[in-house]
Amino acid sequence: MMRLIPDAEHDDLHLGERPLIVCDVDEVVLEFVTPFEAFLTDKGHELRPTSFRLHGNVFNRTDGSETPGEEVSRMLEAFFESHDEWQTPVVEAADSLARLSEQADVVFLTAMPPRHREVRRRLLSRHGFDYPMIATEAPKGPAVLALHGDRPQPVAFIDDIFVNLQSVRSHVPQSLLVNLMANDTFRALAPHPGDGVDIATDWAHAEALINAHISARSD
């Protein structure tokens, strides 16, 4: 059965009678912070993270002044227009997902303007991430609910952002929730993801958590 996700643009979504793994993209399967830092440097700015956000942590390299928020937003938009030239895979993400896909359906759910979907689709496929993708700026909980519905199979959700994990928790409470973030600096600054969320240190850890969840629900 093909699934339709509201307020999103997505590939064809045909789920089998298997567990489902819904996976974020930025900082989970593709590096984001590190390539965005390189992009900022190329534009004459730098990231000096003292909190878990971009706005307020970007500075002009010439005079050291804080870069205005609207300029940071413009640079983010410019980055996403050409992010296929900057972003690279997170270590072990491809191998872990390939192993997990032997027993589960994998779907990417990325929080980005749908107008950038085609660029991201090409980038993911270039690196062997040939799993269907949903691009939306809407909350992720309703999207996962629309995707999974009332299927009895186990479901896991992987993301780096607190609000996304809690959104899925409220809409699909039976989900395994895994917090995973590639960048060490921002991970140290991140708020606790909240109750009911497992924090994975890397993809090997995330893979083990998901395998255990699938095994427990399949017994």
User: If you average pLDDT over every residue of the chain, what do you get?
Assistant: 93
Residue 39 and residue 75 in contact, taking contact as beta carbons nearer than 8 Å? yes
Instruction: Give the pLDDT of residue 3.
Output: 65
Residue 132 clears pLDDT 80, i.e. is over it:
yes
Q: Which domains does the chain have, with CATH numbers?
A: 9-31+89-218 (3.40.50.1000), 33-85 (no CATH)
| Predicted local distance difference test score (pLDDT) of residue 165 | 97
Report which of 96, 78, 112, 160 is spatially closest to residue 121, judged by C-alpha positions.
112
pLDDT tens for each residue of 101-128: 999 999 999 998 888 889 999 999 999 9
> Beta strand pairing status for 176-179 and 155-159?
parallel
pLDDT of residue 8: 74
Is pLDDT of 20 > 80?
Answer: yes
Q: How far apart are CA 172 and CA 81, in angstroms?
A: 32
9 has pLDDT over 90: no
